[in-house]
Amino acid sequence: MKPKLYKVLNAGSTQIGMICATCITKATKQFIATLDKPAKHELYSREQASVRYSDNYCVMSDFVIYEA
């Protein structure tokens, strides 16, 4: 498969990085591996996912990842 670029946004506002991966699931797992606290992800579609720290009980996610 051909790698795609995925943008990583902090709480859906400012871009904090880009990830090159073959699918959104691999991109989110790759990003979670760089975090200092445990986190979980939720897929919304093939192009978008959210990442939330495990100790975050707020409605909003901490990070949003989507296909560029």
User: pLDDT by residue for the chain (68 residues), tens digit each?
Assistant: 799 999 999 986 899 999 999 999 999 999 999 999 999 999 999 999 999 999 988 878 899 999 98
* Number of domains forming the structure of the chain: 1
pTM of this prediction exceeds 0.85 = yes
- Residue-number span of the structural domain to which 56 is assigned: 4-67
Pairing of strands 63-67, 14-21: unpaired
Beta bridge partners of 40: 52
Rounded CA-CA distance 68/57 in Å is: 28
